[in-house]
Structure 1
Amino acid sequence: MLSLKNILCCILFFQLHIGNGQTADKIKAAYQTKNAIEKIDFYEKLNLNQKRAYRDFFWQHFPKLASEEQIKSDKKTQIRYKFALAEVYNIKEDELKSIEVLKEIQNDKDYRLSDSENMNVLVGLQKSYLNLNLYSTVFKINSEIAQLRKKGASFPLWSYNIKSNLYARLFLYDKAIPQLKSEIADLLKNPERDSLIVPSAYNDLGFYYAMNNRIDSAYQYYNIALRKAEKALKSTDFETYERLSGVVKGNIAVLKIRQNDYKNAVSLLEEDAAIGIKNNDNNSGTIKSLILLTECNIHLKNYDEAQNNINQIEQLLSKGISPETKVGYYKAKAELLKFQNKKDEAYANYEKAFRLSDSINSVKQRLLLAGNDILYQLEQKDNVIEKQQSDIDTKEKGILYIVAIALVVILMTTLFYLRNSRKKRKEIEQKNNLISAKNETIKESLAEKEMLLKEIHHRVKNNLQIISGILELQNFNITDENAKIILKEGQARIQSIALIHKTLYQSENFSKVPFQNYLTELVQAIQDTYRNAQMKIETVINANDIELSINTAIPLSLIINEIITNCYKHAFIGRNNGTINIHLTKEDTTYKLVIQDNGNGLPDDFNPKKLHSVGFDLIQGLSKQLEGTFDWKTENGTAITITFKDNIQ
């Protein structure tokens, strides 16, 4: 089946594209009838969601205004136009051009920016650098924005969630949730907020809880979003209410899928997709809902309905969608073809998905390099300014030094103890300020290093998943069932290691793996692989507060993967249900892992040394690597016990 985690990455975190009653034709026609300055006024008066809905139109036509004499002849109008143009590029996700335009505004020596205009420049740069994943630069801009806000500069209302969004991009949902709650509290106090912003914010809060695996809280805030939308929008702007309601219900459907409640997810997704098809201005969002609907119908064995979903997607493909969405379409189609026994066509679609995904990663890397090149050029300019400022500071320090000597002479001759005392206090304050500044620099450096470590683990995980994907493609070309099983087991071992790196980059402590969270996801992955509709297996995990170094976590994860996989494959043959208990505890300086099932048990003459099994050879070899012991017993099932020490070197 399609990986739900991959679908979540593609589907959940999308922007709301909610317009009003005006159609695209009316907006386009109205724009074309106006002169250059009127076109700027017209664009500025559109709400953010209208700008997003018609971003392709404005991206194509708005840059042409740069040559208009009406704009070129007046500096104030020129600055207004550049602000609007930067926003057009940002909404189109052309971040490099957006940064270039905003830097032109910032460095224009013939125009003095007001605090409000300077705030708009910084917020625009903040959004673009955030989309380029240049987080260290975002942190610097955050500091400048904070200084402006202290001076009383107004902050753009729809940029309220920049900080929580930043935490979410770093997968720090434990920090994103309280930050967004604080931002919502500020929104509720702001009389200038529109009717859409608060329900949208609660929808985002539900998403953060969902990504943090707090499902009950996610349901709670999605329902709050629906109630807020009904109260604020249903009677005044039904079209906007309908669209927002569809988006929230689509997110609720994703939670239903995570709970294997495919039947209820179908009705929610059908409503969301129908709204998207009706409004016809967010094809990518509509297709993403149809992809999820295909996934549900495959699980429910409604293959005809799943084929109808694929047909609907293919009718929308010609209208232009993002490459990431197209990857999801290829995978969904491949899964359906596999169940229709069209293996060659399924393989062809898997291969398309793999190649397009690889191309997307290459484009993102080039974009990141281009962003770094821009940063380098900007830093070069900033270095020139800093050098000039340093020369001025040096001269000023020389003057201050001479003055200080003169003051010392005066103080010694006049014996004004009070002045001398004040000077010493001032020097102490300056040193304290210097120490505080250095401490801030150290904090920023630590934050950057944490992000780099997170990125390393993220990339290792991605590379391991690519290897797993290659093995999956290879599996299509192999007819020998034993070879298929060997490849499948190899994929499972690779995924268990990839999951270690995923757990690390989602954790605040990059040197320790929290095993309760890790085991929960590992067991879920094994269940997805070996799920049997006729057999119900319950898994109980107890590893609270156990954290292990990566040197111990990787071999231990492989051991656990082998044991749990064997349980699913062999322990419950001929039975309808079963239980697996996993207990990981610490006893003084050693750790004890016990995995016990209530299945059929091991044969009386069982001896892993004579078994010649790759799995048990791997378990025994890795146990020795951990300087641990391996033991087993059969009593109402099978219990395997491994004791080991944490290798922190």
Structure 2
Amino acid sequence: MAIVSNFDMKRFGKSILWTVTALLFTATSLAQTEEDANEESLFHQFQEFKTADEKMTFFFNAEDLYRENSTYDWLELVTLNLNAAIKNNDKEDIKKFQLMQARIFYDLGDYDKSLAITKDLYEEIEDLDIYLVSKLLDLMDDNYGQLTMYPEQIDIREKKRDMGIMESVAFYDIYSNLGMYRKAMDDYIANVKRTIEENDFYGQAEYYNNLGNYLRLDGSTPTALSYYKKAKGFADVFLDNVTRKKSENVLREAFLLKGVIEGNIGKCHVDLKEYEQAIPYLEAAINRIKENSNNNREYASEITENSLAISECYLLLKNYAKATDYLSDNLQTNTTENLLKKNRLLALYYEMTEDYKSSASYLRKEIRIRDSISEHESQLRQQQLSTVMMKNLKYSQDMLAEQKLALEKQRNENLAKDKRNSLVLISLLFTLLGFAGLVYAYLKSIKNQRLIAEQKYIIENSLVEKDSLLKEIHHRVKNNLQMVSSLLSLQTKNTRSKAAIEALEEGKSRVKAMALIHQKLYQNEDLSVIEMQSYIESLINSVQSVYKKGGHNINITVDAEGVELDIDRAIPFGLILNELVSNSFKYAFPHGDENGKIYIHLRKNGEHEGYFEYSDNGVGLPEDTEERANTSMGIRLMNRLANQLQTTLNIDKNGDEGVRYWFSFK
């Protein structure tokens, strides 16, 4: 309806007919192109088309347009066609060639010039056909994103939605660029996850890589690393699948994605100070991206980031020759962040090699660059963030307003219907006096409905108050448990007995596990359940803070996404998991945890049943485990907690290769 209101019906019908015809023509042309690829280049095929419509459709649908001729060759060719259209005063053709010219400027990285052309075309959007409008808005969206003009980018996306080009609007890339990584991840999951098929391994790899990016940028490096490894697994499955034919372009894109993922894994290891583990991933990523990118500017930043990361590894490992190989002057630093990092690494290199004059010089460069941009960027970022949030609020308000209008319309219809019914009843009252009793019953029912509505209103208000009280109770319980934990910490400092200290630390860890349950409850909108993925991650971080000397290099995989438990099941479950993780940190890896792995799996087998599994690859359980079970407080505690879950804790011993605990629960 929005499109029809903005365009003349005849022009709209003509544009749709032209678009379908052009797409069919292009499909036929592209099929023929594949057969004659060795005989004629895309550049010459473009010149053979007679009309601007055919040339534009071919231009925007051809794959790898610049594989044989450079962007400058295409710019010269399109400009010649544009000049010819201007000479003939053909306004429709002028717009088509201007749009192609804007696209080439974008591919060259001249976003300002590209945007200037598209803005001129945008002013005449009412006169453009829907195909041209779609390509125009897509290009403006890309330009605003590259120029960090996020409020304008949001306006363009809302325009695409209003014109029916997009069904819904997503802003996760904008949130990420503004540093709102958790909000970006939530919006990304909401808009993208449902669109990926289960057997779409490439899509799954891309999805988990992006989730890892949001988590790494938000500081959750261990969790991000697990998502990157999952993404790499899907990428390997896609590339190893020989049953599905893949074109050369598809394979190149898949290898590029794998290279990006390997680089991200390497950067996670750098953040975790695991430099020797990071280097193979970073080297593989650089080589793979260079082999498949064909000097694509889009991937130049990836190569730079990986080169800086690997240089940092070699510097901190004191391999200065390797470090300087990756810090060469040929390294492209297209972004301010990469330039600052390069200067910092050069300053560190000269400091470590005792060339303090050069080190000070690079530090001064970094300070000058940072001072020149920090204040401006900070103000601009605050303005953009404020504008984006206002637009997001306005978008939500518009949605609510639309819903309110729909409800108001329905209410008016119901009122009109009630009025008609009343008139009928009144006419029946005067016509058929014998139905007086029926009328009385009807009026009484109306009164009852009003009483029910009033009672419903009172009950709803009461439920809201009770929810607030419950949140306050959970908050206070959490605070009280934290106070207990603090008291145990004080007692630990005043105790000299090693056994007593360990017992107090174990008690403090258990108290924190229960406090975390109440914290998650009062933070949730739904007070009846707890989202277990985030709770388990928070619990692991809490246990790591207790055992500061161990556990930080263990690769922990948590698979509990989408599982929710009520408080009666969450508390015993959390205490059991607390005991298991604590035991792994204390006993499973006595010779170091460099290769340590912990796997935590939780799933629902229906509405009221679930399955839990915990395993590590440590030294395993001692031979006298069954005898110790009668005296060990931890094992007895876990068995009693399992009884609360109406289940039995099962233990599988794997000799010297770890242990596995599992149980099903209701």
> Structure with the greater relative contact order (CA < 8 A, sep ≥ 6): 1 or 2?
1
Output the TM-score relative to the length of structure 2. 0.43
Structure 1 or 2, whichever has the larger Rg, is: 2
Output the TM-score relative to the length of structure 1. 0.44
